[in-house]
Structure 1
């Protein structure tokens, strides 16, 4: 007989934090036309996409948490005071609570059916619970959404469209304002409702957009940090040394890297500091 942890990570649903178009439109001064021996533009873009995805992963490691929205389940023993259980969440910012199981022991957990009175803060959630417990402590399993909504559109959009079809709706909730990052054609949008992968907007689009455009609540500083990290990765290509053997500890100064690479990594660290996970 085995025991299975309830924690279910959703890292695989994460979209890179910038698109190829966003990187190319940034003033990096980096040549992205020779990332592969093949001169085909699509091959070069595919290689750049791989590096952007890797840079996004490095940003997560620097911050010690996945920055884009994920669905996570955490379990533990928590205090109940005045009929309210207070649970500090492992990952932030807290966006939504999906479910809560509570009980006096792990083998007798019951679903809290009414979450309408839950009080969500950035790092904690307080939820009224009912029932008889042997002490002022309960076992609980909380499933919640944390992080910044970040995905891409999968369908081209015309002026006046009031819906967006996205790759992943995780973290997209009613009332949330996101940005459609579309090089020189960006615009903010506010969410009215979400059904599956279709996001209905509070107001129609004012610009036309191709598919594959970033729809994100990520702060601009995080996106800029990923631009810096991508540039550093490009400049490290061909080096005999590992540039970021331990990204959370910073790059090794023994690594060979083109001019500007170390400065870009340092700048990325500074931009990501406010988003690092705290104990």
Structure 2
């Protein structure tokens, strides 16, 4: 899995949470390590609540589709779809698989926004008989938002970056480089493995480990709030002091976690 924020981003966010004592009697390095673990827990919980990973990932699924006049209209379960890697169809379990030309498909919406495609090269189209079973279609595709880290430090003026995974990155995408006051955005010119070339030079230097992402800011904010909630819960146990009075933990959940859910609703998969 991939983290939806970093310890450095969390510490720069105005959460009002003191992270210097996450580990009792611990030092700064231990606090940062524990904070990273809590961010990992929050990121995993977000994926579970949304019923899908929100970071770019490859998915293979099989579905039944009844052809129409245009061809095969295939709905994919994870979104947004960044790329259809391969697709194939067959009429029955005894039939051999037939390759679908992924160059002859059209997304409902654009790549990076849609979750359904039409395969125009299906040979039967609208003449497929109503008494016959639906076609079985197997699709391998990339869904989710690219969310990665710099694998190597870069200098100001660099026209390319190397990341730990460029899955889902396409030419024309806008990447957000989360590096505190040196935050900047860069447009993708091309992708070669894990090396991404940019349309214009970077304004700032960035160290390895800095997060580079197309993830919507709502998801990052949700992860920060979820992590803050985990820290408060750890410190408070079943209650927490608010306005001079001890309040049950569900008061904090009604504030932090309600906001988390509101931010994440657009990304929750219907199952």
> What TM-score results when the alignment is normalised by the length of structure 1?
0.84
Give deviations 1:232-273, integer Å, cap 9, x for gaps: 0001115556xxxxxxxxxxxxx9539745411111111111
* Match of residue 98 from structure 2: 110
* Match of residue 193 from structure 1: 190
Give deviations 1:79-105, integer Å, cap 9, x for gaps: 122351111110111111000011112
* Match of residue 54 from structure 2: 67
Cα displacement (A) at 1:123? 2.0
Larger radius of gyration between Structure 1 and Structure 2: 2
RMSD: 2.2
Matches within 5 A, 1:120-269: 120-121=107-108, 122-131=114-123, 135=132, 137-238=134-235, 257=249, 260-269=252-261
Aligned pair count reads 253
Stretches of structure 2 lacking an aligned partner (at least 5 in a row): 109-113, 239-246
Cα displacement (A) at 1:151? 0.9
Q: Following the alignment from structure 1 to structure 2, what is the Cα–Cα distance between the partners of residues 31 and 270? A: 25
Q: Following the alignment from structure 1 to structure 2, what is the Cα–Cα distance between the partners of residues 180 and 77? A: 40
Cα displacement (A) at 1:118? 1.1
Indicate the larger mover: 259-268 or 47-56.
259-268
**Secondary structure of 2:103's match?**
coil
> What TM-score results when the alignment is normalised by the length of structure 2?
0.86
**For residues 39 and 97 of structure 1, do their structure 2 counterparts lie closer, same or farther at Cα, with a shift above 3 Å needed?**
same
Kept in 1: contact 2:89–2:135 (CA 8 A): yes
The answer on 1:39 being equivalent to 2:3 is no
Q: Following the alignment from structure 2 to structure 1, what is the Cα–Cα distance between the partners of residues 9 and 173? A: 22
Kept in 2: contact 1:102–1:138 (CA 8 A): yes
**Secondary structure of 1:80's match?**
coil
Kept in 2: contact 1:239–1:256 (CA 8 A): no
